[in-house]
Structures are given as C-alpha cells and as structure tokens.
Amino acid sequence: MYLCRTLKCPNMSKKIEGFSKWSKDQKINWITQMHFEDSANAKEILLSYNHPRKEIQQQHDEFIENSITNFYLPLGVAPNFVINGKEYTLPMAIEESSVVAAACNAAKFWASKGGFKTQILGTQKNGQIHFLFDGNKTLLKKFFQENKTSLLESTKSITANMKNRGGGISNLELLDKSNVIDHYFQLHLTFETVDSMGANFINSCLELIANEMGLLSANYDDFIAEQCSLEIIMSILSNHLPHCLVEATVSCPVDELNTGENSSGAQFAKKFIQAVEIAEKEPFRAVTHNKGIMNGIDAVVIATGNDFRAVEAGAHAHAVKNGKYSSLSRAFISRDNFVFQLEIPLSLGTVGGLTQLHPVVKWSMEMLGNPDAKELMQIVAVAGLAQNFAAIRSLITSGIQKGHMKMHLLNILNQKNATDLQKEKAIAYFKTQPVSYSAVSNFLSTNP
C-alpha cells in the first residue's frame, strides 16, 4: 500500500505553494489524485456530499479555508422537555447512536414530575493581556491607575454598540503573577456580551487595549527614567468561565422515583447517589461521567451553531475547580426529595457567528422558539443533566450495553450491507437477544 502511494505521488516531499488560492475543483482533483488508489471514486464521494443548492454550498465553503465538501452529522430531535414550565423539543447533532434516545427517555421521565428547573448563576466572560514588566511594581501600579481610563477609551469604537445592547467591559484589573513566572503580569478584563458568544468582541477589545498599553508605556516618563520596559506577550479571551454559569435541577419525592426497574424509589435513589458520589471522588469515573454530560451538551451546542470546543474546555476546567477532577453533577436527598443537579459554565451566543448563517442552525433556533443566550444556556444545561440521568439510570440498572447495542444494531447492519428485509428481521430478532458484532454476523449468514 505504502509503495503504491509512493508511486502514485512521486513529488510527495515537495510542498505545495498557494494551495488555498486554488479553485475548489483544482483542490479536489489534486487531493484525490495524490492520495487515493481509485481517484474517480474518491472524487465521487466528495461530490456526492455537496449540497445541491449552489448558494447553500457556497455558504458552507466560505465558513472555512480549503473546504472540499461537507461532513454530515445526523440531526435528531428530542421532544417532551419541560424546562421551567415551558415545553421544548431539543435539536441534537451527534453521531453516537444512543444519545438522542437517552435524552428522550429522560425528558419524558421528568416531564411527568414537574420537568427541569434552571437558573443562571452568572454571565460574566473574561480575557487577559499577558505581559512582562521588569521594573518596580509600584511604578507599574501607578501607570495603570493613571491610564486605566485611556486604556478603556481605546475600545470606544467597538464597545459603543455592545453598550447599547446592555453589555461591554465591566472591569479591568492589574494582576501580579510574578510569583508564577518572573516579571509576569496580567490585565484581567471582564465582559458582558449579552446574546453574542463574544469571542470576537472580547479579543478585539483586548488587542486594542494591548496596543494602547504598548504606546502609553513606551512614552511613560517614569518607565523611561527607571529604564524599565513593558512587553506585551499576548491578548486573548479565556475559556475558563467560573462566573458564566448555569444550574439545572430535577427533583421529586423519593417514593415517586418509579424507574420501571425492580427496585423501590428509595433503593434507586440510594444507588444513584452512590454512583454520583463515586464520580465526585474518583477521577477515572468522573471523566466518563462528565463525558456523558457532554454527550447531551455538545449535541445541542453543535445544532445551535455554538463553539463546542470552548464549551468542552470550560466544562472540564470547572470540573477541576476544587483542585481535583470531579463530577459536574451532584445528587442528594433533601426533605424526602431526590435532587439531581448540574452546574456548568456555558458561553453561548444566539446572535453572530454561525447562528444567522447556517440554515439548519437557524432552523434549530426557531424550533427552540428563538431563545436569547440566557435561555439557550438553560436549555443546553438541561440536555447535559438529562443525558447524565439517563446514563446513570442505565448503569445502575440494566447496564449501559443493553440500550447502547440496540441502537448500535443498525450501524452494524449497515456496515455489513444488510438488505432492508434483513434489517427488519434482525431488529425483531435482537429485541430479545444480546447484540454483538459476531451475533449480527451470524444472524445475517443464517438469514441471507
């Protein structure tokens, strides 16, 4: 195989110049001829995933550089979510077979018990200008006291609009970090970005301030007299968002925890709380536990055109807030009520970014009733809590594989090119049989 490739592309070691400027066709021809044995087939696959409507395809191509086709994820919907008394159907973009089914189950279960309750605990975003200063700290403090207003004023051109919408820069603070790195300081800024996720706004503000800071410090008499200098290293928002938090909760009387399994509400609650406590205390379990939460969170975040990498990074930073990686959710009994709760930082936008551009994102937003950013934070947190509930419920009762493999059955059947009739028969057969790759293979060979 390696030999063939080498023969096929004798100039592999030569770097391509100006690739991004080639037309999409040129890129496709080059890539398929260069890297594939059957280049015609490789090209056909790419073309078959293009959108038939030219303007939609062009929109997608313009999202990123070097786009050569689209990469599909299924969009599922999960109805029956009751959040603060309002009904929602959640859009979920995800490839993992059991996630939407699990969300649906949890939504239905809690809908009959008053649904999900949520509250926003904060919406503050932040960013830092990281810099080095080699002089007297007192001088540096004086410089900031004297120039704080000018630094903030330097962002006027871009903060005006945000201020009109109720947002902007809410604080600017000098932090001495020279105990962690010699001469290292930060300007730590906090922001309110209302309905936008705010990454571009925050980064633009930081860069303007950093620029102004460079100019002002170079001409600051006290620094010149003391021969000290201030060097900007970088300016960037932080995805660590300890004050941009949402909490989602479900609760019901313990004896109403009728999960349909062979245990009383009290037994179920006890085992459930134990399972969450294990995730609180044991990092190996906590990571998987939180991954289950992110199954629900990411699916809605992607469907609503938000940045799931930012959400992931922030969530895991929050999970380690007490110095040890732990569960993002907690479960307990309070006055004979079972309570299950998730607290998670979520930086989401409902304006800007992909939200107004991607047709399916717009569709998802409309299905959710065009929520503002705070409402979307609450919906997304609920998706995480629901997913976590469904996963733990399976884990402590039937085990996860039963539901998982049932959902995975179709993937295996498709991998093995089963006909529609074989699929129908297999689905009926595996209702009562354990699903595994070999069991499905055997079934297909005995049911041609």
Determine which residue in the list 158, 266, 400, 439 makes contact with ligand MEV, applying CB under 6 A.
400
* Touching ligand MEV, residues 356-395 (CB under 6 A): 391-392, 395
Site string for ligand MEV, 295-334 (x = CB under 6 A): x---------------------------------------
The answer to the question of residue 271 lying near ligand MEV (CB under 6 A) is no
Smaller CB distance to ligand MEV: residue 112 or 288? 288
Smaller CB distance to ligand MEV: residue 289 or 358? 289
Residues 6+ apart with CB under 8 A from 288: none
Instruction: Output the smallest distance, CB 278 to ligand MEV, in A.
Output: 10
Smaller CB distance to ligand MEV: residue 129 or 294? 294
Instruction: Output the smallest distance, CB 291 to ligand MEV, in A.
Output: 5
Catalytic residue numbers? Answer: 96, 291, 307, 404
Smaller CB distance to ligand MEV: residue 208 or 269? 269
| Closest residue to ligand MEV in the complex (CB) | 292
Task: Write down the H helix ranges in 9-135.
Answer: 24-35, 39-48, 54-61, 99-111
> Do residues 239 and 313 lie in contact, with contact meaning Cβ atoms separated by under 8 Å?
yes
264: exposed, middle or buried (Cβ count in 10 Å: 0-12, 13-18, 19+): middle
The answer to the question of residue 289 lying near ligand MEV (CB under 6 A) is yes
Beta bridge partners of 119: 247
Of 118-126, 203-211, 217-225, 285-293: span binding ligand MEV (CB under 6 A)? 285-293
> Do residues 373 and 305 lie in contact, with contact meaning Cβ atoms separated by under 8 Å?
no
Of 181-189, 286-294, 373-381, 419-427: span binding ligand MEV (CB under 6 A)? 286-294
Nearest in space to 332 (alpha carbons), one of 324, 322, 340: 340
Determine which residue in the list 24, 68, 96, 236 makes contact with ligand MEV, applying CB under 6 A.
96
Report the chain's terminal Cα–Cα distance, integer Å.
33
Smaller CB distance to ligand MEV: residue 111 or 278? 278
Q: Check residue 391 and report its DSSP letter.
A: H
Of 158-166, 189-197, 290-298, 332-340: span binding ligand MEV (CB under 6 A)? 290-298
Give the other-Cβ count within 10 Å of 144's Cβ: 18
Of 69-77, 84-92, 289-297, 426-434: span binding ligand MEV (CB under 6 A)? 289-297
C-alpha distances in Å from residue 410, one per residue of 45, 405, 428, 431: 22, 9, 12, 13
405: exposed, middle or buried (Cβ count in 10 Å: 0-12, 13-18, 19+): buried
The one-letter amino acid code at 280 reads: E
Smaller CB distance to ligand MEV: residue 96 or 134? 96
The answer to the question of residue 288 lying near ligand MEV (CB under 6 A) is yes
Q: CA angle, corner 121, sides to 119 and 127, nearest 5?
A: 140
Count of residues binding ligand MEV (CB under 6 A)?
A: 10
The answer to the question of residue 178 lying near ligand MEV (CB under 6 A) is no
The phi, psi pair for 281, rounded to 5°, reads: -95, -20
Instruction: Output the smallest distance, CB 164 to ligand MEV, in A.
Output: 43
Of 1-9, 135-143, 283-291, 422-430: span binding ligand MEV (CB under 6 A)? 283-291
- In three-state form (DSSP H/G/I as H, E/B as E, the rest C), the secondary structure along 100-148 is HHHHHHHHHHHHCCCCEEEEECCCCEEEEEEEEECCCHHHHHHHHHHHH
* Cα 250–chain centre separation: 22
Instruction: Output the smallest distance, CB 302 to ligand MEV, in A.
Output: 15
Nearest in space to 366 (alpha carbons), one of 89, 79, 83, 53: 89
Instruction: Output the smallest distance, CB 96 to ligand MEV, in A.
Output: 6
Determine which residue in the list 291, 316, 321, 406 makes contact with ligand MEV, applying CB under 6 A.
291
The answer to the question of residue 105 lying near ligand MEV (CB under 6 A) is no
State the residues that interact with ligand MEV by CB under 6 A.
96, 288-289, 291-292, 295, 391-392, 395, 400
